[in-house]
Structures are given as structure tokens and as C-alpha cells.
Amino acid sequence: MSATTADTASTAPLLDVRGLARHYHLRPASFFGERPVLKAVDGVDFAVAPGRIFGIVGESGCGKSTLGRLVMALDRPTGGRVLFEGEDLLALPARALARRRRGFQMVFQDPYGSLDPRQRVRTIVGEPLHLDPAARNRKLRRERVGEALAGVGLSPADAEKYPHEFSGGQRQRIAIARALVTRPKLIVADEPVSALDLSVQAQVLNLLLDLRDRHGLALLFISHNLAVVEHVADRVAVMYRGRFVETGAASEVLHRPLHPYTRLLLDAEPNLDAPRRLRRRAAAAPPQQQPAAAAPESAGCAFAPRCPLAVERCRAETPILRGLDADRAAACHRAGETA
């Protein structure tokens, strides 16, 4: 339905997402009323090559977490396909899907909520191993848990402790160890450092980069923080109201944004080198406020009501993601002229 943003043409993608959509039917306004449709994810295409980090940025409600859950096959899409190593995950029977799951694992934002406080680290980290026929016996499982803990910089002795004995950063290491224990090829990380203190955040980001380099791990890295995404991601997609509005190499998109929404995000992010207080003295009137969350929509560009560049066409016709550069795409009628 729109331009596919392949990672590199030469390598076959590990993850290939095509036309993915998740629409929710909301309660009708009245008993006889029509049920409005909320398009949380609305036709998204992208691919992630082995060993690459694909970043997804957007504000709350833009659909980025729903997208992560769809990729993990934790939620069923209402349209489109998720191909992992060429295999359509959603066409698989439940048991076959469960076996495939050791190839792709997930790390969540909150290292307090995502670890069971009543279980030892050994049990938490070892849990996904039931997906792996190669780790049936206890001795092997113990070895794999030790290996996963060592891989994230924790000691084998930590396996006997409980989550409350660790700091936030160490807990996130435990969550990463749990994701690594099945030796996956892809990790979906949904805001993995957002709950961490700055000094600890850098440790976890470096760890993720090390894992990529050591094991050729691919990451789908979901975050609201542009600086973090720019730091880790090879490629990035900017999401707004369920759609990708801009894609390309992370360094390009976050330096020379083509879509006005990307520009708005970049401008809003605090910048140590140019404090906003000083920047805005020179700036024009602020654009009209409107949340980035998905809402039942009619025709036209979803960003048009907030967009300083919107023209008649933007309100009438929904822009599709179109290639602009060798390697970049933006869903904006005016993207070419404003570059």
C-alpha cells in the first residue's frame, strides 16, 4: 500500500512487515449509531535486516507499542502480514508459533513491573527456555541462564536472588537476559531505557549495542526519545496516528527531516546546545495544539490540523509514504518542495 522501506537490498530481511494494520471498533455514540473505528496501526511497511537496529519514534498514542505487540504476535492485526525469516507468523498454528517465539523476544519499559517479584532471577531468566527443545534438561538450562546473565554483565550468583535486590538498571539487565536466553535473532525493545536514570541509561544502551555486535542481534527499538534513537538506530521510522510519516537512515532523518511532524518533534526536544528559551524568542507563533494519538479520522493528512505548511490538498487527500531520496520516504504532499 505504500513504499516498502527495505533495510538493505542485498541482505534478505529478518523481519518483514507488510501493510500491517490494527483497527479497533469503538463503542458507538448511540445505540443505533455506527461504531467508530480507531486505527491504532494503519498500514505500516518496513523490514529489519539481521544485525540492524530499526528505531520507531513517536509520541504516546501514535501506535508504536501496538506495532511492537503485533510484531511479537501478541496481538492479531486486522490487516497485513508479519514475516519472520520469510514465514508468516500469523498464519502459523498456535503451537508452531510458540516454537518460533524463541527467535524473537521482547524487553519492556518498566523493569519493576515486568519481573515477577516472587520468583528468583534463575526462574525469571530461564522461563522462555521451555520454548527451546535444545534446553530440556536442568543442567543445560542452568548453563544457558548463566550464559545469559554473563552476557548482560551480571554474575552467576545473581541467579539465586530476587528482583527487589537489584537497582532499576540491573533489573533491566535481567529483563534483557531473559530475552537473550533463547538466543533470539530479533529483540523488540519497547522504551527499554525510559524508566532509567541517565547514568544507567547509557550502560543499558551500550549493552544493547554490544549484543548487536557480538551476536548479530537485530533490534526493533521503540522510543519517544529522539536523541536515544539517533544514538542506537541504523534506520528510523517516525510514527504519527498509526502511520509512518517518515523513514530513512536515522542520521539523515533526524538531521534533515523532510516531514513537518519530524521537524516539530526535533524542535520540541530539549537541546543542551541551544536552550529553547533562547530559540523561541526568534520563532513564530506556536502551531495549533492537537494530540498525536489516533482518533477516528476522515480524509486528509492526519497532521494537517497542526501543520504550519498545510494547504488545501492536505485536508482533502491522505498523503502516502513516497520515496524522495535514494533511501528516504515521507508521507507529505509538500515534502519535496520543503526539503
Partner 1 sequence: MLEISGLAVRIATPQGSVAVVEDVSLSLAAGATLGIVGESGSGKSMLALATVGLLPQAASATGRILFDGQDLLVLREAALCRVRGARIGMIFQEPMTALNPAMTVGDQIAEGILWHRGGDVGRRAARAEALRLMDRVRIPDAQRRFAAYPHELSGGQRQRIAIAVALALGPALLIADEPTTALDVTVQAEILDLLDDLVRETGMALMIISHDLGVISDMADRTLVMYAGMRVEEGETADILRNPAHPYTRGLLSAMPRRGGRGGKVVGGRLDTIPGAVPAAGQLPPGCRFTARCPFATDSCRAGEPAWRTPFGPDHGVRCIRAEELTA
The residues in 166-185 that bind partner 1, with binding defined as CB under 8 A, are 167-170
Taking the least distance from each CB to partner 1, the nearer of 137 and 288 is: 288
Q: Which stretch binds partner 1 (CB under 8 A): 87-95, 133-141, 224-232, 314-322?
A: 224-232
User: Does 280 engage in binding with partner 1 (CB under 8 A)?
Assistant: yes
Residue 240's Cβ-side half-sphere holds a number of Cα atoms within 13 Å equal to 28
SS3 label, residue 229: helix
User: Does 206 engage in binding with partner 1 (CB under 8 A)?
Assistant: yes
30 phi, psi to nearest 5 deg: -135, 170
Going by the DSSP 8-state scheme, the letter that residue 27 receives in this structure is: P
Residue count, binding to partner 1 (CB under 8 A): 43
CA–CA separation, 47 and 58 (whole Å): 18
User: Does 8 engage in binding with partner 1 (CB under 8 A)?
Assistant: no
Taking the least distance from each CB to partner 1, the nearer of 145 and 239 is: 239
Distance of CA 234 to the CA centre of its chain: 13
Q: Say if CB 227 and CB 236 are below 8 A apart.
A: no
| Alpha-carbon distance values, 229 to 50, 176, 225, 232, 325 (Å) | 18, 18, 6, 5, 21
Going by the DSSP 8-state scheme, the letter that residue 232 receives in this structure is: H
Q: Among 197, 312, 317, 325, which residue interacts with partner 1 (rule: CB under 8 A)?
A: 197
Q: Which amino acid is at 248?
A: G
User: Does 295 engage in binding with partner 1 (CB under 8 A)?
Assistant: no
Taking the least distance from each CB to partner 1, the nearer of 95 and 277 is: 277
The residues in 9-68 that bind partner 1, with binding defined as CB under 8 A, are 59-60
Site string for partner 1, 233-272 (x = CB under 8 A): ---------------------xx--------xxxxxxxxx
Least distance CB 158 / partner 1 (angstroms): 14
Taking the least distance from each CB to partner 1, the nearer of 8 and 167 is: 167
CA–CA separation, 33 and 25 (whole Å): 12
CA–CA separation, 252 and 158 (whole Å): 41
Residues 6 or more apart in contact with residue 133 via CB below 8 angstroms: 99
User: Does 164 engage in binding with partner 1 (CB under 8 A)?
Assistant: no
User: Does 230 engage in binding with partner 1 (CB under 8 A)?
Assistant: yes
Going by the DSSP 8-state scheme, the letter that residue 331 receives in this structure is: -
Q: Among 92, 200, 309, 320, which residue interacts with partner 1 (rule: CB under 8 A)?
A: 200
Q: Which residues bind partner 1 (CB under 8 A)?
A: 59-60, 167-170, 197-203, 205-206, 209, 224-228, 230-231, 254-255, 264-273, 275-277, 280, 286, 289, 291-292
